[in-house]
């Protein structure tokens, strides 16, 4: 019988009813589906397998330290991603529910994030309060802490293809039109490095720690890196930054510190006054 969906056919996916395409990424197409056994809605990510005649990606025009490297959907990388994801169970990290493969494709059945990409929501909102930022950063920090401290995953790179902003941060539920639970995703396709001995530059320059851009070894994660600031040059421009708290500015400076030894770790982020609510300027008696 002919299947309605455009999802490549593979028998072990029979238990899922494909509902619609959710999006396409740099390496995959993602579909919304329903598990016929449990009724649960899921996302199915379909990645094409690497073939020998795939073009090499040349990133050297971006920075001389970045070497040519092959596409990342090589079997080893996908399997590593799957291995990593299988061992990660955290409320702020997208769960891998099932993995299977056919001759031409890998299939990752994932926790469905109904709210879509955080980036799109931020663009829609146009104004973003500190309170909302705290709600999001707190969840991201918990996820990164779990990756760093409890799973041994030392490096996380979000992905940003200039043509189609995609930070790999999703909203699980929209919770009354707002932003509810946040989930990190998409951190396996060459974006996770297990330890500091794996030092090949990977990910996207826009999110890469300065010492990697400058081809130095690194010892700390770019905790929740926002932009590559290779020379640490940024400013809190007036009047836009005037209403922003000193705690927020201190945190941003700490996270974007070029010197990896001085840069805030995720542990420092979690204990920072901006997240804990203990003001830098307020004495306990006031
Ligand atoms: P790639 O790794 O190939 O770049 P992504 O993980 O970025 O692919 O996924 C591509 C798109 O699919 C995303 O932009 C998003 O719209 C959608 N998507 C991916 N994973 C999920 C998910 N778990 N829940 C909902 N939508 C998802």
Query: Is residue 112 within 8 Å of 32, Cβ to Cβ?
Result: yes
DSSP 72-98: S--HHHHHHHHHHHHT---TTBPPEEE
Helix, strand, coil abundance in the chain, percent, nearest 5: 25, 20, 55
pLDDT of residue 200: 39
SS3 state at 132: helix
Q: Note the pTM of the prediction, 2 decimals.
A: 0.75
Asked whether residue 20 carries a pLDDT value surpassing 80, the answer given is: yes
Distance CA 111, CA 129 (A): 28
Compute the C-alpha angle 44/45/49, nearest 5°: 135
C-alpha distances (whole Å) from 269 to each of 157, 183, 250, 265, 275 are: 17, 18, 11, 6, 8
220 is known to lie in a ligand binding site: no
Distance CA 65, CA 103 (A): 35
| C-beta 107 within 6 A of ligand 1 | no
The alpha carbon of 37 and the centre of ligand 1 are apart by a number of angstroms equal to 24
User: What is the percentage of the chain residues whose pLDDT exceeds 70?
Assistant: 59
Please give the mean pLDDT across all residues of the chain: 72
The alpha carbon of 48 and the centre of ligand 1 are apart by a number of angstroms equal to 14
- CA nearest neighbour of 77 among 58, 54, 111: 54
User: What is the percentage of the chain residues whose pLDDT exceeds 90?
Assistant: 29
Residue nearest to atom 4 of ligand 1 (CA): 25
Average of per-residue pLDDT across 64-74: 46
Q: Identify the top-confidence range among 45-49, 102-106, 116-120, 244-248.
A: 244-248
pLDDT of residue 250: 95
pLDDT of residue 47: 80
Instruction: Give the ligand 1 atom nearest the CA of 189.
Output: 2
H helical segments located in the chain: 75-86, 118-125, 130-145, 210-213, 246-255, 266-270, 273-276
**Confidence category of residue 75, pLDDT binned at 50, 70, 90:** low
Burial class (CB in 10 A: 0-12, 13-18, 19+), 153: buried
More confident residue, 186 or 204: 186
Count the Cβ atoms, other than its own, within 10 Å of residue 243: 8
Residue nearest to atom 7 of ligand 1 (CA): 25
| C-beta 13 within 6 A of ligand 1 | no
The alpha carbon of 224 and the centre of ligand 1 are apart by a number of angstroms equal to 20
pLDDT tens for residues 205-240? 444 455 544 444 444 444 454 445 556 678 999 999
pLDDT tens for residues 113-165? 988 888 888 888 877 889 999 999 999 999 988 887 777 775 444 444 443 44
Asked whether residue 34 carries a pLDDT value surpassing 70, the answer given is: yes
Distance CA 82, CA 74 (A): 12
The alpha carbon of 214 and the centre of ligand 1 are apart by a number of angstroms equal to 30
pLDDT of residue 152: 73
Tokens of 166: 């995609």
Residue nearest to atom 12 of ligand 1 (CA): 23
SS3 state at 44: strand
H/E segment holding residue 248: helix 246-255
Tokens of 81: 């991603």
Distance CA 246, CA 97 (A): 42
Report the catalytic residues. Answer: 161
Longest dimension (CA), the chain: 74
**Confidence category of residue 37, pLDDT binned at 50, 70, 90:** very high
């Amino acid at each position: 019988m002919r299947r309605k969906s455009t999802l490549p056919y593979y028998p072990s996916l029979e238990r899922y009813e494909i509902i619609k395409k959710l999006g396409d990424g740099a390496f995959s197409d993602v579909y919304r589906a329903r598990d016929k056994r449990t009724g649960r809605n899921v996302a199915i990510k379909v990645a094409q397998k690497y073939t020998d005649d795939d073009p090499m990606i040349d990133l050297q025009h971006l920075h001389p330290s970045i070497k040519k490297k092959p596409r990342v959907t090589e079997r080893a990388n996908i399997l590593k991603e799957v291995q990593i994801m299988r061992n990660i169970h955290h409320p702020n990290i997208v769960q891998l529910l099932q993995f299977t493969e056919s001759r031409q494709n890998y299939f990752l059945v994932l926790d469905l994030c109904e709210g879509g990409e955080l980036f799109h929501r931020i663009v829609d909102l146009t104004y973003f309060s500190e309170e909302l930022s705290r709600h999001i950063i707190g969840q991201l920090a918990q996820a990164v802490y779990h990756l760093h401290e409890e799973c041994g995953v030392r490096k996380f790179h979000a992905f940003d293809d200039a043509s189609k902003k995609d930070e790999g941060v999703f909203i699980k539920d929209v919770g009354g039109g707002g932003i509810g639970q946040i989930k990190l995703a998409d951190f396996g396709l060459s974006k996770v490095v297990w330890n500091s001995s794996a030092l090949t530059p990977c990910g996207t320059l826009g999110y890469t720690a300065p010492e990697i851009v400058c081809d130095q070894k690194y010892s700390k994660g770019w905790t929740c890196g926002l932009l590559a600031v290779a020379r640490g040059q940024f400013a809190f421009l007036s009047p836009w930054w005037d209403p922003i708290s000193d705690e927020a500015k201190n945190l941003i400076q700490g996270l974007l510190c070029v010197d990896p030894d001085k840069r805030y770790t995720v542990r420092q982020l979690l204990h920072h006054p901006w997240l804990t609510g203990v003001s830098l300027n307020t004495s306990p008696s006031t």
